[in-house]
């Protein structure tokens, strides 16, 4: 979509979607992809639409997530793989993850440990997962590094649709090193 909506436009859009269907709606706030941030005030207003149940908050800002939490009871999910534990510490409930496609059990273990009050264990998982998310996702725009990792792990063929294209050999080697460092490749 090539237009940057106003905050009123966001509200009207989600109100129209909410009226048109009875499915639960999860907002995606990813300004890095859309070049437009949904403000906490607009999110709180959108949260009054009964079918809006959660938000994938991917601004990378704990201030913004805290502001949202102070304005409404919307379920907040981390949209940044490096931030689920910090976000959960301020009231978030989980993550919509990229690296969870590679190590779902590890990510689930971190969330479960936090939910069970085993904070030290959750921190240990966070510290293990953090380099994977940082190193994997810094190579190129997602889904390129994820598809490359899945190919290297034998879980996907790595095929992409244009304008996404395969990594060069040096970048693919960086992905392989990241997977080896995590213990996923020999």
Beta-carbon count within 10 A of 78 CB: 25
* From 28, 108, 128, 151, the catalytic residue: 28
Q: Compute the distance between CA of residue 46 and CA of residue 53 in angstroms, rounded to an integer.
A: 10
**Distances, alpha carbon 67 to alpha carbons 19, 87, 91, 153, in Å:** 27, 12, 11, 39
| Other CB atoms within 10 A of residue 51 CB | 15
28 is catalytic: yes
Active-site residue flag, 56: yes
- Location of structure tokens 């639960």: 24
List all residues 6 or more positions away from 102 whose beta carbon is below 8 Å from its beta carbon: 132, 136, 146, 149, 150, 153, 179, 184
Which one from 4, 10, 11, 56 is the annotated catalytic residue?
56
Q: Which residues are catalytic?
A: 28, 56
């Amino acid at each position: 979509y090539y237009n940057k909506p106003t905050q009123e436009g966001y509200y009207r859009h989600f109100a129209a979607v909410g009226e048109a269907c009875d499915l639960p709606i999860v907002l995606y706030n990813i300004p890095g992809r859309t070049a437009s941030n949904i403000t906490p005030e607009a999110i709180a207003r959108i949260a009054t639409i009964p079918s809006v149940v959660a938000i994938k908050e991917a601004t990378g800002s704990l201030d913004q997530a805290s502001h949202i939490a102070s304005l409404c009871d919307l379920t907040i999910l981390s949209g940044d793989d490096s931030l689920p534990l910090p976000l959960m510490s301020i009231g978030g409930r989980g993550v919509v993850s990229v690296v969870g496609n590679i190590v779902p059990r590890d990510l689930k273990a971190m969330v479960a440990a936090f939910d069970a009050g085993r904070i030290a264990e959750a921190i240990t998982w966070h510290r293990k997962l953090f380099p994977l998310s940082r190193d994997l996702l810094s190579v190129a725009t997602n889904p390129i590094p994820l598809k490359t990792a899945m190919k290297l792990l034998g879980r996907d063929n790595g095929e992409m649709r244009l304008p996404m294209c395969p990594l060069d050999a040096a970048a693919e080697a960086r992905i392989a090193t990241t997977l080896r460092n995590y213990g996923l490749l020999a």
